[in-house]
Amino acid sequence: MIGILGGTFDPVHIGHLRVALELYQSLPLDEIRFIPCGQPPHREMPQASANQRLTMLRLAVQDQKGFCIDERELRRQGPSYMVDTLSSLRDEMPDVPLCLIVGLDVFVEFDKWHRWSEIPTLAHIVIIHRPESDLGDKGQVIELLRKHRVQEPAALLEQVAGMILLWPVRQLDISSTDIRLLMADNKSPRYLLPEQVYSYIKSAGLYQS
């Protein structure tokens, strides 16, 4: 079973990595694929180039067993829609369970995604959240959750797609935006991201004002 973790990773930080590690250690995952977004469909383009973001991601995950990088969205032209990414993965691995990893704040806006209703036919959805989080009780995504939710991770192994698991994790209050703002203000973001990534950012002159 493969976990799919998408994002701009502009830059990758400890919050991304800690969540991925907790999921890798607690769910029956063979690997977690970090998929850097090429062209975000709903936000501005990343400040760092595709190659710079890829380099930072490689530095961050190079020593962790079970972590790997998938570059397909960086190679694909046009907006990076997750439904297209999952479709291509499903074509390559028709019999492998895929788990799209999303935060609770992302899932509540899931019905705004491009061709969102097709995604559960291509992958399971693992919603990461803090234990005290509240989803509410209305809307299309809540109905989707009620219809497809499972309680135990082992259930995700029973079919290749279509189930939703809520899983509490330790989410660190770190954002790529905050790191970029610190750098632009000539302040150090040390200890918010891997040291080798911080060293690369400094040497490449990224995120400076």
Q: Classify residue 188 by burial, with Cβ atoms within 10 Å: 0-12, 13-18, 19+.
A: exposed
Return the domain boundaries, the chain: 2-172
Tell which wins on pLDDT, 43 or 74: 74
Question: Is 139 a residue whose pLDDT tops 90?
Answer: no
Q: What is the pLDDT of residue 56?
A: 98
CATH 3.30.43.10 fits 2-172, yes or no: no
Rg (CA), the chain: 17
Q: What is the pLDDT of residue 137?
A: 67
DSSP-derived 3-state class of residue 89: helix
Q: What are phi and psi of 124, to 5 degrees?
A: -70, 165
Neighbour count for residue 64 (Cβ, 10 Å)? 13
Give Cα separations from 119 to 81, 114, 160, 183, 193 (angstroms).
11, 9, 12, 36, 31
Average pLDDT, the chain: 94
